[in-house]
Every structure is written in C-alpha cells, then in structure tokens.
Amino acid sequence: MWRALSGFVAAVGGRGAARSHASRLPAGSLLGQEARADSPAGRKRSTTAMPEVNTDNLDEQQVQLLAEMCILIDENDKKIGADTKKNCHLNENIDKGLLHRAFSVFLFNTEDKLLLQQRSDAKITFPDCFTNTCCSHPLSTPLELEENNAHGVRRAAQRRLRAELGIPLEQVTPEEISYLTRIHYKARSDGIWGEHEIDYILFVRKNVTLNPDPNEIKSYCYVTQEELKQLLEKASKNEIKITPWFKLIAETFLFKWWDNLHNLNRFVDHEKIHRM
C-alpha cells in the first residue's frame, strides 16, 4: 500500500514538513527511462564465477533493474570492468572484494530544507529505510562512464532523480549538480544482499517538481536540520531504520556542509576518498 507521507510525518514528529502527496504509478512505468548497458563496455563482464540466487520472491520491477550494468572499480576508483547490479550487491561477491561506483544526491530547496526519502518495501537492499534524496549507480554506458569532472556520475544522478522522484530532466541538469567528494563504505542489508561502493557526494539547491514512483519511494519530505536530528535520534533508538551510508554521512559531514550551502567550494575535494 502506497503511504505517501505517513511514515515521514511520524518519523520527524509531524511538524508539517511534508509538502504533497504522490499518486501511484503503474508498476514498471519508469523502466523505459533507464539507460541500458548495450555498449561493448556495458557488456563486459567479470570473469569471476558468480553465485546463483533465487529472486522469485522479490519485486518484479526491482528484479528487472538487477540486470543493469554497474561500473566495477578498484579501491582508487579506477574502472576495471562492469557487472550486473545483481552481482555487485551479493554479499558473497562483496566479501571477495567486488566494488562498484555509486552516488548520493542531497537536494535542498531554496529554504535550505533537505529532501529525504523512505525507500519502498519493494527495494532489494535496505527496504523501508530513510535516506538522502537519491542514491544509485552510474551505469557502464558511454555517457555515464565519462570521468572528467564526474560528468558521467552527474548524468546518472539526473536520470535517477527523474526515475525515482519524477523530477523533470530540465529541472535539474548535470551542470546544476555539484560534486563534493567521495566516500568508500561497505554494509550488509541482510544475509544475501549488501553494498560495497565508492559513493560520489552530490549537492543540488533548487526548487523542483516531485512525482515519485511508489515502487522506489514509500514516503518523502523536506526537513530542517532540527527535524533531521530528531529522525536520527529515532534511528539511534531503533524506532525507525536509516541507510548505513546516510548514517555515516550525517554523523561525519552533513551538518557542516549544510551550514555552508552558500559556500560549498571550500569543501570540494576530488582527490581524497574518505574510507568509512
């Protein structure tokens, strides 16, 4: 059942931060918008033997997305190949060192409130968890492999902002997405699935139109710093769940960045990868 905002109102104390309801979209309605990995680079696969995992009990739309080709990298974020989203997120492969490129978007409106989402129950990793605006992966396609000034990652962020939140492409262009720095983290979602990523941290400050896909997003809300601190406190008491990458970023960098939204250049660091 699509509960557009009730989860967020409860999580942040019902202080009116929620703005508008999202209507249900047909299952799979956004799949046609996803970039497909049909280039030679996209078809390149790891030579490592991959485990077989039964996905019959998982959401059909999310299972289709497991065929997307993620960018395999080494610990210095150098591309070494490509493999499916499915293989990149199996703990059995992560434990052997499989690492892929990812991004996390933090979108603020002109009131300097941060847009958060609660991941849908259909998500394969970290379902029902609260997290930052948008979290996903660039694909192994020519446009999203471009590394100069993280152009490929920023194009991927634009694509996923539309796919998850329904933000029209023209409302957030790659040029309006600021690339701050990268973090490297690893986390298990359950006994089968997990994350092992070098995550590009991307900031946007703009008012946007939202029309989320309920297969991706259970609820969403703009929050102030104080409201986010309340949400994090609830998470610390296990009253709600938050994603591990969002927890790491919120506990180390986020509020310092938030205090300096109009002067983020001082925090740009494209050389260092923060190991967390």
Active site residues: 135, 197
Give the alpha-carbon dihedral of 41, 77, 164, 67, to 10 degrees: 40
Give the alpha-carbon dihedral of 155, 157, 162, 167, to 10 degrees: -100
